[in-house]
Amino acid sequence: DDIYDKLRIWTRDEQGNDVLFALGQKSIGAIFLGSAATPFALKDSANQAHGQLLTSGVFLHESGQAGVIQQIDLLA
């Protein structure tokens, strides 16, 4: 649909460059729009905060394999 075609996956490559992929490029067929609260602090080995995991949901690859989608707030 129109919205699905506009959604992108944001990641970084080996050089640290931001890269956007269309969902179809990663064989993602469906995203469940519901989510569950999954609060978790993202910290390094020195206990310094780097972000906060807020919610988690699921998606399906075209093959039927399930994956996890998460809302993460990153600290600058």
Q: Are 54 and 72 in contact (CB under 8 A)?
A: yes
Is pLDDT of 2 > 90?
Answer: no
- 38-61: per-residue pLDDT in tens? 999 999 999 999 999 999 999 999
Question: Domain extents for the chain?
Answer: 2-74
Higher-pLDDT residue of 73 and 2 is 73
**Average pLDDT over all residues of the chain:** 95
**Given this model, what pLDDT does residue 76 score?**
81
Helix and strand totals (H; E) in the chain: 1, 6
